[in-house]
A and B are shown apart, each in its own frame.
Chain A
Amino acid sequence: MSSIWIIVAFILGFLIVFQIAKASEYVAILHGEEKTRRDSNRVNGFMLLIFLVAGLFGVWYCNHALKDRILGEAASNHGEKVDTMLYITLAITAVVFVITQIALFWFAYKYQEKEGRKAFYYPHNNKLELIWTVIPAITLTVLIGFGLYYWYAITGEAPKNAQVVEVTGSQFKWEFRYPGADGQLGKKYYREISANNPLGQIWTDPANHDDVVGSQEMHLVVNKPVKLIIGSKDVIHDVGLVHFRMKMDAVPGQPTTMWFTPKFTTREMKQKYGDDFEYEISCDQMCGRGHFSMRGTVVVESQAEFNIWLKKQKSQYATVMEAEKGAPASPAKPAADSTKNKTTALNAVPVKSIQ
């Protein structure tokens, strides 16, 4: 009902405004169009000045009101670099923003049409134009320099001692695979995917036998570099880690990687930002109806805590073995996959494991 009233109010308001606008046109003719034009010119010139002042205040106010709601300290080493780059760019662009906006609205106000004012014939000035080609060029070179320096630092090779976690997105959940004691992720092939083999691990590869598979919650070790090997089962997803300031697409058929070093454990963050805090993984690439709800979490803990956690997990291979105990099918060939094309591991596209 209220929506109808709102629509009615809009229509009424519209009719009133229209009548006023129409009337003002007649009044203009009565008063002399030239005089009306000059009057409205003055009003609009003044409005531009007001807009400038109110706008600059609004920019300040918006910052004042929202600055505490945007994320706090970056929680990874790379995040710090991103933030530094962000502040460098902010400093430069803010100066340009304020100067150009003031110039724009001030000139408009100052040089509004006035009786007797003559516009200044000023078609070009090569020196000026050169200046404002060269200065932006130099500034941008600086920005590009900083940007690429950090970019290469962030996208460079992961350290050798990095923990490896495989992240797989699918509509609309996250799954994680950790190498077991051998430190190796086993090969996988998408046609091996089945109910109890969610990632399509190839059981003939012994490296797979101790791999641990989990979902929705990723465990990382604080202050230890982690390299994520990212993939997708169906459409493109994106591993978005806001607190770490990291992001990488999950592309089916083309594994991607990213690495960073978490700086704070989840517990430390809870102390800082309240018990409610959680590191979240958001899907940042449109992936279908549940895109907005494709949420995962990250638990950052000490190495000892991580080791205990990992020990408690059962490898996917063991789970499958248990499920198939007594069944005639050999564990090397997943029984549940009988409807799929039988492809041997030879054709498999392996995901490169560590190095």
Chain B
Amino acid sequence: MNNDQTIHVHQGAEGTHEVLGNGHGNGHDHHHKQSFITKYVFSQDHKVIGKQFLITGIIWAIIGALFSVLFRLQLGFPDESFPILETVFGKWAKGGHIEPEFYYALITMHGTILIFFVLTAGLSGTFANILIPLQVGARDMASPLMNMMSYWFFFLASVVMITSLFISTGPASGGWTMYPPLSALGQANIGSKLGTDLWLVSMALFVVQGLLGNLNYITTILNMRTKGMSMTRMPLTIWSLFFTAILGVLSFPVLLSGFILLLFDRNLGTSFYLSDIYVAGQALPNEGGSPILYQHLFWFLGHPEVYIVILPAMGIVSEVMSVNSRKPIFGYMAMVGSLFAICILALLVWAHHMFVSGMNPFLGSVFVLLTLLIAIPSAIKVFNWLTTIWRGNIRFTPAMLFCLGFVSVFISGGLTGIWMGNSTIDIHIHDTYFIIAHFHLVMGVAAFFGMFAGVYHWFPKMFGRYLNNTLGYIHFWVSMVGAYLIFWPMHYMGLAGVPRRYLDFTLWKSFNQFADLNKMISVVTIIVFAVNLMFVFNFFYSIFKGRKVRTLNPWGATTLEWTTPINPGHGNWVGEIPEVHRWPYDYAKDGRDFIPQTEPLNPNESKH
């Protein structure tokens, strides 16, 4: 950034202050001049930052999903050769066959990209930014500058991660969990050379991104709610984003510490994680370290991470489902309470990923107990969603369909969590296809469905246009059917004990009976990938050419974001920020379709 731009940004910041300072009065539709750079690139407007997160997330999602298509080619068609792969990837796919190193790099990056860059930054980054100020009634985030920095740290992390894909020794390939010693020793794994350093640096930048964003989200929610917006009048989206941010603040630093120790072990000769190692014909000097220590540090984030991924989706689903059922969310306080319970328990269950790591069995049993407890708030949420649609008047917008899909896959994947969380069963299905099926359904597909629901629902707010509905329906149905076709049979492979992270089963007598199934899964994966590309096309096409939104409140929703102009400027509301008088779920009350939050209570109104 050159000096001129810096000045522009600075002016932009002052402009924001002005807008924020004048809490009431005068048009706020952005008076100061903005260049393209300050408006779309180094913007401090939460809505633009949200879109930046979303679009970056989409680009990452394409890359991450493409990687899964590539390794599914290997799994589905192990004997066939794809010359096109050699053309594109050279030595990594000699003769059109994916080399083992390449395969492991693909699965590692697939996991890293989708979990962190898409479902963390892309999901909560997008919706926290877009929804928090709009739904709590604030002109912007508490610190727009920090918010902007949050995005640019994400961008930097992305650049470093992308760079690692192009270096000669390839990107990190030790699995997304990056367990040492494998990830610490370049001589044990080619991906553990420069690729892993870049991976760690990128993730460190990513943690900074998360902290800047999360602190901002928490502060904004606690301090910048409009008049009348008490905590219990906040939409569930905000509650879920609030707990997500808290989880992130509490657990990401632990991950960072784990990564820093790993960097030390890799580059400074320390022995935090290394002990008694004889590799590549050489005994290493390190003694006394513990690889298990890394696992504790990693999973102390790693487990909350899955809730960081799923909580925003739960919030979005609760909100969108209520709007489209034309009915209040059932059990608002129970929904908030269960979010809270999940948030607390999420921090207390990490070692259930380590039942077979040699951990003390007593410790294991404590984690079994705490893990299975999480099923209770999750069950409450599911039952409440079911009751929400019961006796509703449901509109199947694409967003609503994705909500229903979310609940369906969340049930399917959640129930197998009860299997995995019970250490006795985990012994057998640990690190098999069962866990792949479990977490892809419960946090992968479910979080994606939540994200899609959010995109379809708030696209009109983001861009003043609609997404194409027909493409939306095709997108939903193919993704929904595809998700089950891909992941449901994997439970059976897992029960058969088929280990994950195997690229070829021909050597094995116990695991080679699923060739036809693998082929089917790969074909479906390619189709689902293609249809999701169509969604991406729909997204970008509709930004410019979509049907225009002509009413302020196209879905008939009660929340504040629909009281802003169709294309809100920086500052969101023209004139005063509206005051809030009621909770956000007054649908179907007293015979009225919906009552906006801004409408004062009527003395004759029935109580809830």
Instruction: State the A residues within 8 Å of B (CB).
Output: 3-4, 10, 13-14, 17-18, 20-22, 24-25, 28, 37, 40-41, 44-45, 47-48, 51, 55, 58-59, 62-63, 66-67, 69-71, 78-79, 81-82, 85-86, 89-90, 92-93, 96-97, 100-101, 103-105, 107-108, 111-114, 117-125, 128-129, 132-133, 136-137, 140, 143-144, 146-148, 150-152, 154-156, 170-171, 190-191, 193, 200, 230, 233-236, 238, 240, 242-243, 245-249, 251-257, 276-278, 280, 282-293, 295, 340-341, 349
- Alpha-carbon distance A124/B383, docked complex (angstroms): 12
Contact with A along B293-328 (1 / 0, CB 8 A): 000000000000000000000000000000001111
- Within 8 Å of chain A (Cβ to Cβ): is B292? yes
Across the two chains, which residue of chain B brings its CB closest to A273? B509
A21 & B471 in contact (Cβ 8 Å cutoff): yes
Instruction: State the B residues within 8 Å of A (CB).
Output: 82-84, 100-101, 104, 174-175, 179-182, 185, 188-190, 274-279, 283, 285, 287-292, 325-334, 356-358, 361, 364-365, 368-369, 372-373, 375-376, 379-380, 382-387, 389-396, 401, 404, 407-408, 411-412, 415-416, 418-419, 422-425, 427-428, 430-432, 468-471, 473-474, 477, 480-481, 484, 488-489, 492, 495-497, 499, 501-505, 507-511, 513-514, 517, 530, 533-534, 537-538, 547, 585, 587-591, 608
Known contacts A22-B468, A59-B488, A276 near B283 by CB under 8 Å: no
- Of B357, B423, B488, which is within 8 A of A151 by CB? B423
- Alpha-carbon distance A270/B493, docked complex (angstroms): 22
Known contacts A111-B325, A140-B373, A123 near B330 by CB under 8 Å: yes
Set of chain A residues within 8 Å of B474, measured between Cβ atoms: 17, 21
- Of A59, A62, A82, A104, which is within 8 A of B408 by CB? A104
- Alpha-carbon distance A59/B489, docked complex (angstroms): 9
Across the two chains, which residue of chain B brings its CB closest to A132? B383
B175 & A286 in contact (Cβ 8 Å cutoff): yes
- Alpha-carbon distance A257/B382, docked complex (angstroms): 40
- Of A234, A235, A242, which is within 8 A of B510 by CB? A242
CB proximity of B244 to chain A, nearest CB, Å? 23
Set of chain B residues within 8 Å of A133, measured between Cβ atoms: 376, 379-380
Set of chain B residues within 8 Å of A349, measured between Cβ atoms: 276, 287
Set of chain B residues within 8 Å of A235, measured between Cβ atoms: 179-182, 185, 188-189, 279
- What are the 10 A-B residue pairs with the smallest beta carbon separation, nearest first? A253-B275, A256-B358, A242-B497, A155-B361, A292-B502, A44-B396, A21-B470, A119-B588, A120-B391, A147-B422
Query: Please, could you name 10 A-B residue pairs with CB atoms under 8 Å apart, sorted by A?
Result: A48-B396, A86-B428, A93-B418, A111-B393, A123-B331, A132-B379, A235-B188, A247-B430, A253-B290, A341-B285
Known contacts A18-B534, A144-B368, A100 near B325 by CB under 8 Å: no
B380 & A287 in contact (Cβ 8 Å cutoff): no
Across the two chains, which residue of chain B brings its CB closest to A11? B530
- Alpha-carbon distance A242/B538, docked complex (angstroms): 46
- Alpha-carbon distance A119/B469, docked complex (angstroms): 24
- Of A71, A144, A292, which is within 8 A of B504 by CB? A292
B424 & A81 in contact (Cβ 8 Å cutoff): yes
Known contacts A103-B386, A235-B188, A69 near B514 by CB under 8 Å: yes
- Alpha-carbon distance A41/B469, docked complex (angstroms): 11
B411 & A100 in contact (Cβ 8 Å cutoff): yes
A108 & B404 in contact (Cβ 8 Å cutoff): yes
CB proximity of B511 to chain A, nearest CB, Å? 7
A97 & B179 in contact (Cβ 8 Å cutoff): no
B534 & A17 in contact (Cβ 8 Å cutoff): yes
Set of chain B residues within 8 Å of A136, measured between Cβ atoms: 375-376, 379-380
Set of chain B residues within 8 Å of A257, measured between Cβ atoms: 358
Set of chain B residues within 8 Å of A280, measured between Cβ atoms: 508-510
Across the two chains, which residue of chain B brings its CB closest to A79? B428
- Of B181, B356, B375, which is within 8 A of A140 by CB? B375
CB within 8 Å: A-B pair count: 385
- Alpha-carbon distance A62/B487, docked complex (angstroms): 11
CB proximity of A245 to chain B, nearest CB, Å? 4
Set of chain B residues within 8 Å of A292, measured between Cβ atoms: 100, 499, 501-505, 507
Set of chain B residues within 8 Å of A295, measured between Cβ atoms: 507-508
Across the two chains, which residue of chain B brings its CB closest to A134? B376
- Alpha-carbon distance A101/B404, docked complex (angstroms): 10
B332 & A124 in contact (Cβ 8 Å cutoff): yes
- Of B181, B365, B392, B488, which is within 8 A of A148 by CB? B365
Set of chain B residues within 8 Å of A48, measured between Cβ atoms: 396, 401, 404
Set of chain A residues within 8 Å of B279, measured between Cβ atoms: 171, 233-235
Set of chain B residues within 8 Å of A234, measured between Cβ atoms: 181, 185, 188, 277-279
Set of chain B residues within 8 Å of A120, measured between Cβ atoms: 327, 390-392, 588
B361 & A122 in contact (Cβ 8 Å cutoff): no
Set of chain A residues within 8 Å of B365, measured between Cβ atoms: 148, 151-152
- Alpha-carbon distance A55/B547, docked complex (angstroms): 34
CB proximity of A316 to chain B, nearest CB, Å? 16
Known contacts A124-B332, A252-B277, A282-B511, A118 near B422 by CB under 8 Å: no
- Of B368, B384, B484, B530, which is within 8 A of A55 by CB? B484
A285 & B431 in contact (Cβ 8 Å cutoff): yes
B330 & A124 in contact (Cβ 8 Å cutoff): yes
CB proximity of A120 to chain B, nearest CB, Å? 4
Across the two chains, which residue of chain B brings its CB closest to A277? B509
A289 & B283 in contact (Cβ 8 Å cutoff): no
- Of A85, A108, A125, A129, which is within 8 A of B380 by CB? A129
B181 & A3 in contact (Cβ 8 Å cutoff): no
B428 & A82 in contact (Cβ 8 Å cutoff): yes
Known contacts A144-B422, A252-B181, A289-B190, A242 near B361 by CB under 8 Å: no
- Alpha-carbon distance A200/B175, docked complex (angstroms): 29
A89 & B471 in contact (Cβ 8 Å cutoff): no
Set of chain A residues within 8 Å of B283, measured between Cβ atoms: 190-191, 193, 340-341
CB proximity of B195 to chain A, nearest CB, Å? 13
A132 & B394 in contact (Cβ 8 Å cutoff): no
A40 & B469 in contact (Cβ 8 Å cutoff): yes
Across the two chains, which residue of chain B brings its CB closest to A115? B393
- Alpha-carbon distance A170/B179, docked complex (angstroms): 16
Set of chain B residues within 8 Å of A107, measured between Cβ atoms: 386, 389-390, 392
A104 & B510 in contact (Cβ 8 Å cutoff): no
B330 & A236 in contact (Cβ 8 Å cutoff): no
- Of B278, B285, B468, which is within 8 A of A193 by CB? B278
B182 & A128 in contact (Cβ 8 Å cutoff): no
- Alpha-carbon distance A292/B101, docked complex (angstroms): 11
Set of chain B residues within 8 Å of A101, measured between Cβ atoms: 408, 411-412
CB proximity of B365 to chain A, nearest CB, Å? 5
Known contacts A132-B383, A292-B504, A3 near B82 by CB under 8 Å: yes
- Alpha-carbon distance A87/B435, docked complex (angstroms): 17
Set of chain A residues within 8 Å of B428, measured between Cβ atoms: 79, 82, 86, 242, 245-247
A278 & B408 in contact (Cβ 8 Å cutoff): no
A71 & B510 in contact (Cβ 8 Å cutoff): yes
- Alpha-carbon distance A205/B393, docked complex (angstroms): 80
Known contacts A234-B181, A288-B189, A93 near B415 by CB under 8 Å: yes
- Of B290, B327, B496, which is within 8 A of A242 by CB? B496
Across the two chains, which residue of chain A brings its CB closest to B372? A140
- Alpha-carbon distance A3/B589, docked complex (angstroms): 57
Set of chain B residues within 8 Å of A59, measured between Cβ atoms: 488
